[in-house]
Amino acid sequence: MADTMQFDLVSPERRLASLPVTAVMIPGAEGDMTAMANHAPTITTLRPGVLRVESPEGTSEYLVTGGFAEIGADGLSVLAEKAIPMDQMTRAHLDELIEEARTTYKTVQETDQPHGLVEDAAKLLADMEALGTHMSL
Amino acid sequence: MPSLKDLKIRIESVKSTRKITKAMQMVAAAKLRRAQEAAEDARPYAERFNAVMAGLAASVGGSDSAPKLLAGTGNDQVHLLVVMTAERGLCGGFNSNIAKLARVKAQELVAAGKTVKILTVGKKGRDALKRDLGDHFVGHVDLSEVKRVGYANAQDIAKDVLARFDGGEFDVATIFYAKFVNVVTQVPTAQQVIPASFEAAEDGAASGTADYDYEPGEEAILADLLPRGVATQIFAALLENGASEQGARMSAMDNATRNAGDMIDKLTIEFNRSRQAVITNELIEIISGAEAL
């Protein structure tokens, strides 16, 4: 049996999960990565995607919309802005998220803000839409 | 001297007031428990977040290219005060304490020649500050329709504040709220959110952050996280405020209930005395009438 590490998934409002896991697949901003026990300490930001958690008890999946993951010596914490368990995910949820991303995109486009906000919003929108296809909803 | 009937009516009215305050106290107690739970649930996120930010800020903060949200705009001419209060009254000194702290701070800043802008969250603070500082208001966030404060509310406020910051409307932002200590004590607190200041984690977690790999770079992460940090701090403040409000209301209503009880006792004594006086009077009249015969 593989080594396990402590995994915490917290959203601003509450702690969603806290359990020992064998591996976690993280949708990192620069590409997916899988963290297992004794991973090098890393901090990465998240893009909207699916977080897959493999624990001795089984596999669970969460949809995360952004935030960051911290892999440390004592385990892995994912601080997600919004996290929804996949089995509670519905098309309506996703539509809502896509709509939100679209509005953000529109407003930043109109106000023409600096620091590449437009690109960010465009990417967010694309990510959200890709997510829908990925989940085949 | 009020008549017996007047006294009776007053006693009844104070009794019904006591019933109301008692009910409000119990409602506040139930809400307080929920608010405290919400504040507790939010703690892990805020703690983790601050630990990571403290580490990041320590390693990037020194450089010239540090983001404006962390390093500041270079001057502190324009201050934005975000005053967070409750939407309802009847909670003792809760709203006025926060408003007072904000007012003192605002007057200090004005006296020092700074420009003050005020963003109010919650109706009561707005009402309290309107007379003295109404000219400084730049906006208001209404949470009266919100039953349970969520992260989305904090995000909306943060977005508003950040948009103003990006627009160059202010240099320093401070939030005002009441920290919940216990049911009888809530401490009005001022906390600077922009430029961000992070307390180093106490458990020495910051010392370990130096060896982290960052993906993307440290600065990119910091730039991504700082706006979230503002929202997180505002959210934490909103939750503290929620618990404080209910705690303050609970103790205020407890006091009111007790005062009403005292008043009922006093009025009852007065009622009995005047009743006796009336009886004595009537007896005297009867006796002197009989003697006259």
User: What is the DSSP track for A23-73?
Assistant: EEEEEETTEEEEEETTPPPEEEEE-SEEEEEEETTEEEEEEE-SEEEEEET
Predicted confidence pLDDT, tens digits, chain A (137 residues): 568 889 989 888 888 888 899 999 998 888 888 988 888 888 888 888 888 999 888 888 888 888 889 888 878 889 988 888 877 777 777 777 777 777 777 776 666 555 555 566 666 667 766 766 666 55
* B13-69 pLDDT tens trace: 999 999 999 999 999 999 999 999 998 888 888 888 888 888 777 777 666 666 778
In terms of domains, do A121 and A63 share one? no
Taking a C-beta distance cutoff of 8 angstroms, is the pair B125, B141 a contact?
Answer: no
Residue B113 — left, alpha, or beta (φ > 0 → left; ψ -120 to 50 → alpha)? Answer: left
Cβ-based contacts of B232 with chain A (< 8 Å): 12
Q: For residue A80, give the chain B residue with the closest CA.
A: B45
In terms of domains, do B103 and B144 share one? yes
Nearest Cα to Cα of residue A4 among A109, A64, A67, A75: A75
With an 8 Å Cβ cutoff, are B212 and A114 in contact? Answer: no
Domains identified in chain B, total number? 2
In terms of domains, do B92 and B138 share one? yes
Is B221 inside a domain boundary?
yes
In terms of domains, do A59 and A74 share one? yes
Q: Which domain holds residue B257?
A: 4-21+253-288
Domains identified in chain A, total number? 2
Taking a C-beta distance cutoff of 8 angstroms, is the pair A62, A53 a contact?
Answer: yes
In terms of domains, do B165 and B274 share one? no
In terms of domains, do B11 and B37 share one? no
With an 8 Å Cβ cutoff, are B216 and A15 in contact? Answer: no
In terms of domains, do B216 and B272 share one? no
Is B54 inside a domain boundary?
yes
Rounded Cα distance, A117 and B68, in Å: 15
Q: Which domain holds residue A123?
A: 90-135
Cβ-based contacts of B235 with chain A (< 8 Å): 12
Is B269 inside a domain boundary?
yes
Q: What is the ipTM of this complex?
A: 0.76
Measured torsion, CA atoms of residues B152, B156, B161, B165, in degrees rounded to the nearest 10: 100
Cβ-based contacts of A30 with chain B (< 8 Å): 215-216
Q: Which residues of B are catalytic?
A: 91
Supply φ then ψ for residue A3, to 5 degrees: -65, 150
pTM: 0.84
Residue A77 maps to which CATH number? Answer: 2.60.15.10
Q: For residue B50, give the chain A residue with the closest CA.
A: A79
| Closest CB from B151, B213, B235 relative to A42 | B213
